[in-house]
């Protein structure tokens, strides 16, 4: 979530996103272009938040028992066969 929040902080000050720039070049009022850009940034942030929450929830349900015990055996790495030099 940190990269999305950081990009939301600089929109319009440091960077002009493509959609907003395109609308400005097309002759749309700046306030209207900014409204669309804010809506798009909030949609991207909310999609990222929902995806992150979903991944954490699915991982939690897979890696913990009903008694909240961590199942470490599921995280063991696969060992590759040793290479003959």
* pLDDT tens profile 47-73: 999 999 999 999 998 889 889 888 888
What pLDDT is attached to residue 58? 92
Query: Residue 78 domain-assigned?
Result: no
Contacts of residue 70, defined as CB under 8 A and 6 or more positions apart, other chains included, come to 63, 64
- How far apart CA 60 and CA 75 sit, in angstroms, is 13
Beta carbons of 63 and 74 less than 8 angstroms apart: yes
Confidence of residue 81 (pLDDT cuts 50, 70, 90): low
Overall domain count for the chain: 1
pTM summary value: 0.68
Query: Residue 25 domain-assigned?
Result: yes
pLDDT in tens, 13-49: 667 778 888 888 999 999 998 888 888 889 989 999 9
Range of the domain at 6: 2-72
What pLDDT is attached to residue 83? 63
Query: Residue 81 domain-assigned?
Result: no
């Amino acid at each position: 979530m940190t990269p999305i929040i950081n990009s939301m902080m600089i929109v319009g000050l440091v960077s002009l996103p493509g959609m907003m720039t395109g609308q400005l070049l097309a002759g749309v009022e700046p306030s209207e272009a900014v409204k669309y850009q804010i809506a798009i940034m909030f949609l991207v942030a909310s999609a990222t938040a929902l995806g992150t929450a979903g991944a954490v929830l699915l991982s939690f349900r897979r890696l913990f028992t009903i008694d909240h015990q961590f199942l470490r055996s599921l995280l063991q790495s696969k060992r590759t066969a040793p290479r003959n030099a």
